[in-house]
Amino acid sequence: MLRKAIIPLGGLGTRLYPLTADTSKAMVRFLNRPLIEWMISSLARQGLREVYLAVSGFNNYIPLIDYMGGGERIAFTLRMEPDIFRVRYMPNITSLGNAHAVKVVMEYYGINEPVLVLQGDTVARLDVLSIWVSHFEKASFMSVGLKELEPWKDVSMYGVADVDEEFWIRRFVEKPKTAPPSRFINTGVYVLSPQFLEFFKTSVGQQLLRTGQMDFGRHVIPTLLEHGYKISGFPVSDYWFDIGTPETYMEAVFFVLRNISLDDLGVTSSYKGARMQGRTPESRRLHAELIERDKSGEISFEGDILLGRHISIGSGTRISNSVIDHYTILGNDVNVENSIIMDRGVIGSGTVIRDSIIGRHVSIGHNCEIIGSVIGNGVEISNGVKCIGSKIWPHMKISEKAEVYNAVSQQSALT
């Protein structure tokens, strides 16, 4: 059985800017907790007992170790006994790619058993036992999770596998420019045999190391196949998302919200489509109050909603198909539709937020319109602002009654 997992965490997450301009992609809020916590909690529930975060870069390492520590938070949340579950970290070595990061971790910690590898920007429902059985029964050198991409999506954005009738991988093409060999894409979920490290002692593996060609999809998997190593695929038939852009981030948030259990969401009260988090007596009192206010028509909940702990909602406010994170304050007559507001936001009265993502600790004034926009952490937006189809970098300030259309702003102020 798989007991250990390695999660490479590197890069700047530029496609998800401005949400990742000042933080690790793994720490972006996802349904009111960090993205990485979703992944690690799922693994722990399925019996994995050690997760290694192969972290590189200041923005990745600092927030991760401050939040995750040695795994105590996960163990407490899942009601595990002390010392049952651990989170460990890659030593301070600059990695040459995700495969190199995995190699460093396996060598440093002396891992000589099969390991599960996942990417740090993935949201997926994985059946770890089925993955292990597939790998074990085929006696694969390496197994790769493959997802059949929907017909309307662009396969050229992914690594694509050519597989035979038994799901052995014959060929692997990273982001094919011409006709792809199939619609089975690489999910970045792997099982590695202990012999994985032996490959890098061969002349071929040494050449990859010397030339810095240490990305699984672009370099290592194609090279292994060329030299006769047995690599099998296993189907990822449930949901899987690569959180690469604000668009895919929002798609994943609302899909998971609608398809995950209340317990997995940390929800203790639900009413119509509104799911409410918080277990304390104060939280339960707030839930009852919000339900009564909706029933009386003072506020309105419509569609699928997630409401975090210790939030405040003013009179006349309408929330539809949205996520409101912990400690957020919504003034009177606010309209939030198809949007995500991360923790500790303050939204002034009369403001409309539609089809947008609002980062952490954002302050938005009265009578603003935020439509189709992504607002970075710590942004301050004054009264009467219109922000349409724009991306605003963290800690910017937008002056009163400014109109911002289709902008990508990294300025210190907008007027």
Cα separation, 140 vs 182, in Å, equals 21
Q: What is the per-residue pLDDT across 101-120, written as a single tens digit (0 to 9) for each? A: 999 999 999 999 999 999 88
Residue-level pLDDT at 352: 98
Averaged pLDDT for residues 310-323 = 97
Please compute the mean of the pLDDT values over residues 176-180 and round it to a whole number. Answer: 79
Average pLDDT value for residue range 338-359: 97
Domain ranges of the chain: 4-245, 261-414
Structural fold of domain 4-245: Spore Coat Polysaccharide Biosynthesis Protein SpsA; Chain A (3.90.550)
CA trace torsion 216, 217, 222, 225 (10° rounding)? 70
What tokens were used for 190? 């792997």
User: What is the per-residue pLDDT for 413?
Assistant: 42
Q: Is the pLDDT of residue 254 over 80?
A: yes
Predicted confidence band at 297 (pLDDT cuts at 50, 70, 90)? very high
pLDDT at 378: 96
Q: Mean pLDDT over residues 209-227, rounded?
A: 90
CB neighbour list of residue 9: distance below 8 Å, 6 or more residues apart: 24, 25, 26, 36, 53, 54, 55, 56, 60, 64, 120
Mean pLDDT computed over 278-284: 92
Query: What are the φ/ψ torsions at residue 14 (nearest 5 degrees)?
Result: -65, -30
* Look-up of token digits 């420019």: 177
pTM comes to 0.89
Q: What is the pLDDT of residue 59?
A: 65
Q: Is 183 exposed, middle or buried (0-12, 13-18, 19+ CB in 10 A)?
A: middle
Which CATH number, 2.40.110.10, 3.30.110.30, 3.40.190.10, 2.160.10.10, labels domain 261-414?
Answer: 2.160.10.10
* Amino acid found at 58: F
pLDDT value of position 58 = 62
